[in-house]
Chains A and B, each alone.
Chain A
């Protein structure tokens, strides 16, 4: 399977000048900070390779990062981006293009399944190492000044964390919405169980869109199979609220207009209680506890009688 491109994944974050300015305002990154950061620039630039190594060594020591270290291509890319990141952090330009680079890094982290928590830990460790190095080199001269410089540098770090965490969250939300889409797209089959008897196992979330689709496919199945009874099993519907109940009622009414009787099965105790609490009137709906009961009721309606033979056929005879 081809890896998805990074760029299209990031389109949901607003990468406008206003947004970047807003992010800077939030962490308090101003013009004064740029000068202070410039004073420690050489230290960070010279140690960039070492700091990058520190970051990834620390990541490796944490749980839940195995997928990153197994994927060498992604790891090399991450190392490269991280080195660029460390250099850019003291580069003095924190505009839209800077943010875009961080978004790329965030998207890469998300692709290898890096946890927000793990990322924060490793990033903090990186800051700690850089901080010690800066203090070691400059503290002798003017400790207060160096501390201020480092604090300015830290603002950039938090600026970055904001972006990367946003990307990680955004990617997670995207995954969730994709999965919801997939669940929604699972169509509801109408299965003919006997002559004139259909079964519809309904699974997943019922919203207005899906209810319409469900009703439509049921009505066409009734026509195509000349069904007289439809058993709708809602065991797989996690939550039934008044809206879902209304959708079901509409579907049942439509089936009746076509001359078919609908039987609803699989109402769990919780669902029944919540429907009663909501005051949904299901008195005109045929409901049966489970699918087996529903099928038995349907067979009675159609005049079938299932009889068990005294001598059950052995598997060999059956072939």
Chain B
């Protein structure tokens, strides 16, 4: 099943609606990597609230997406991890330490905006300095 990727301003929103096969995940990763460049997006929000399980491959792919989009100039935020999923992930040692997380889509968009504002300020400082 293909994951729809929506463009909202300068943010891409990928809303996973059902359990994905490994192939679908790879495709999502490749699609996002493409689109980030194509739309010159500054952020990606991946909504996993419909998933009741996140296995190690999915976690690794999500982290891969985050690192990849970062290299292309966009912050990735994972949103909507369910309580039970969070528990299971932690017990499996999948803590996604280096990836941003937020409660829901709203929060995720706010976090991307805040991050971009910070990065902008940092760049300005460096420029001024």
Contacts and interface: CB of A to CB of B under 8 A. Distances in A.
A216 B104 CA distance: 18
Given A219-B83, A219-B86, A220-B83, A259 B91 contact: no
A250 B92 CA distance: 10
Interface string A245-278: 0000011011111111000000000000000000
A256 B81 CA distance: 10
Contacts of B111: 259
Interface in B75-100: 78-79, 81-87, 89-91, 95-97
Contacts of B95: 253, 256-257
B91 A258 contact: no
B89 A257 contact: yes
B91 A250 contact: yes
A255 B102 CA distance: 10
Given A222-B103, A226-B103, A228-B103, A259 B79 contact: yes
Which of the listed residues A253, A256, A259 has the most CB atoms from chain B within 10 Å of its own CB?
A: A259
Interface residues of B, number: 22
Interface range, A side: 20 to 34
B101 interface: yes
A212 B78 CA distance: 23
Interface string A213-257: 001100110110011100000000000000000000011011111
A52 B107 CA distance: 78
B112 to A, nearest CB: 12
B101 A258 contact: yes
A260 B83 contact: no
A223 B86 CA distance: 12
A112 B107 CA distance: 61
B9 to A, nearest CB: 21
A259 B82 CA distance: 11
Given A226-B103, A253-B95, A258 B83 contact: yes
Contact of A219 (B78, B79, B87): B87
B81 A216 contact: no
A259 B102 contact: yes
A257 B103 contact: no
Nearest to B100: A259
B118 to A, nearest CB: 14
Contact of B90 (A227, A250, A284): A250
Q: Which 6 A-B pairs have the closest CB atoms?
A: A219-B83, A259-B102, A254-B86, A257-B86, A259-B103, A253-B95
Interface of A: 212, 215-216, 219-220, 222-223, 226-228, 250-251, 253-260, 284
10 contacts: A212-B87, A222-B83, A223-B103, A250-B90, A254-B83, A255-B86, A256-B101, A257-B85, A257-B95, A259-B107
